[in-house]
Structure 1
Amino acid sequence: WTAPKKLDTNPTLGGFMGKYSEQFKLTAITAYLEGSNGFRKVARHLGIDFSLLRRWVASYRSTASLSPRPHGQRYTEDFKRQVLKHMLEHRLSLRQTAAHFDLGQSSQIGIWLRQHYSGSPATSVANQRRSAVPKKVKPIKPTDTNDAEKSREQLLGELEYMRMENAVLKELKALREEKERTRTKKP
């Protein structure tokens, strides 16, 4: 037995290709399928997590391939419905369904399932995170134009900016005064 071979970054393919070589994965799968030991024992012997070995074996059994779809791939709504329908009709687990459709992570199917039952449109986790943080509107900086010519929104924006600027300056002044007090107290 040899230690798992790590693959390096491939700049032409845009990043990390995978931690273990295809040969190592096949060796691990063969050791499990042809041996009498369970996932945990084979995985411990090879120095990998047993759930990783279980995923490799499930993927291999279902597709006779070890190459999941590329990371970051976007799936159509139709494909997501097809995956969920297949899982429910055949009473498969998330892991079995992921192996059947050659998906890398079974957790993605769980997200699709929750979205399906909640009635929300299936959006990616990245989009959900982005929309959770409201976009901050920058206050309008004061300009030299006549105040009588400005709209109410412009004047309110400038007022907000001035108040914020004033608060920052007061805080800065308080910090400087506190720093001076601590310097004078120290002999």
Structure 2
Amino acid sequence: MSKHNRAFKLKLAKLAQSIPSREVGKRYGVASSLVRYWSQVYSINGADSFKHPHQPYSLKFKAHVLTTMTVNGWSLSYTSAHFDLSSQGILFQWHKLYAQEGLSRLTPRKNSRPNMTEHSTTLKPSAEMTEKELREELDYLRAENAVLKKLEALAQARKKKAKKRP
């Protein structure tokens, strides 16, 4: 989701056609580089700017954008403005990932959190546990005990320090 809505971007892009982007940016509290980018998008795409019809961007679209940029020798800024990308940074990331790991790294990834794993709340009786499980539990309990001892020592040190202060 974009921080600024489409109407606001169009308004500032039109203003930047006649007024310097630094002044427009100061007047509306937006970075002048962003205003310049919006102005460039507007000058290339006109009134159909800032619609971003390709989100989420497919692998085919990303490959097409990168190929077009390379074949025509376009800059990152001009290419992202030409394809009406939401920002120049997106194309920079695609270009970097493509250079590092190839086309396979550009596949869209799921942005949701992983599902929580179900941990059993009932403990196995120690008679049913394997030796490895018993050793892991012993190590865990020793670490837990050490943490609790450290916490208790810190609490006592704070109390002692508080008593010393008048």
TM bucket by the smaller chain? 0.7 to 0.9
SS of alignment partner, residue 106 of structure 2: coil
SS of alignment partner, residue 138 of structure 2: helix
Q: Deviations over 1:42-84 (max 9, x none)?
A: 544665432222122211122212324279x322222111110
Instruction: Give the corresponding residue for 1:83.
Output: 65
Report 1 or 2 for greater relative contact order, CA contacts < 8 Å, sequence distance ≥ 6: 2
Instruction: Give the corresponding residue for 2:4.
Output: 19
Contact 2:45/2:84 (8 A) holds in 1: yes
1:103 is displaced (CA, Å) by 0.6
Using the aligned pairs only, state the percent identity.
31
State yes or no: 1:49 paired with 2:28: no
Q: Which amino acid is the alignment partner of residue 22 of structure 2? A: R
Q: Aligned pairs, how many? A: 158
Instruction: Give the corresponding residue for 1:4.
Output: none
Listed as ranges, the matches of 1:103-114 within 5 Å are 103-114=85-96
Contact 2:58/2:108 (8 A) holds in 1: no
SS of alignment partner, residue 67 of structure 1: coil
Contact 1:29/1:53 (8 A) holds in 2: yes
Listed as ranges, the matches of 1:6-155 within 5 Å are 18-19=3-4, 22=7, 25-33=9-17, 35=18, 38-44=20-26, 48-64=30-46, 65-69=48-52, 73-120=55-102, 121-122=105-106, 143=123, 145-147=125-127, 149-155=128-134
Give the aligned CA root-mean-square deviation in angstroms.
3.5
More helix by share: 2
Instruction: Give the corresponding residue for 2:147.
Output: 168
Q: Distance in 1 between matches of 2:32 and 2:101?
A: 35
Q: Distance in 2 between matches of 1:142 and 1:30?
A: 65
